[in-house]
Amino acid sequence: MLFHVRMDVAIPRDLDPAVRDELIATEKARALELQREGTWVHLWRIVGHYSNFSVFDVGSTDELHELLWSLPLFPFMTVQVTPLARHPSSLAAQG
């Protein structure tokens, strides 16, 4: 199942800089791990924001939920999830 996910991050400005740096490093490592696994299919920065558009390929909504909750920055995120279905006019749908 494919899902389009927008993640907006708002790390508190008063968070200890060392804690912030560690969170960002562990978030990057987790994102790379999920991309290598093929679960996090696309990751695009939204220009001018601490945000991204992503596409995830998972087996269920529950799996996506658990995956998102596993992200180190999740407590500081606003997340919007949109399920995706193949469009009949897409080249991929033509075979």
- Whether 72 maps to a domain, the answer reads yes
Q: Residue 79's domain is classified under what CATH number?
A: 3.30.70.1060
Q: What is the pTM of this model?
A: 0.90
In a domain, 28, yes or no: yes
pLDDT score, position 90: 87
Mean pLDDT, each 10-residue run in order, the chain (95 residues): 98 97 98 98 98 98 98 98 93 76
Residue for token digits 């490093």? 25
In this prediction, residue 38 carries a pLDDT of: 97
Residue 48 to residue 45: CA distance in whole angstroms: 9
Give the total number of structural domains in the chain: 1
Which domain does 51 fall in, by range?
A: 2-86
The per-residue pLDDT for 94 is 75
Within a 10 A sphere around the Cβ of 38, how many other Cβ atoms?
Answer: 8
Give a yes or no: residue 93 inside a domain.
Answer: no
Output the CA angle 44-88-59, nearest 5 degrees. 55
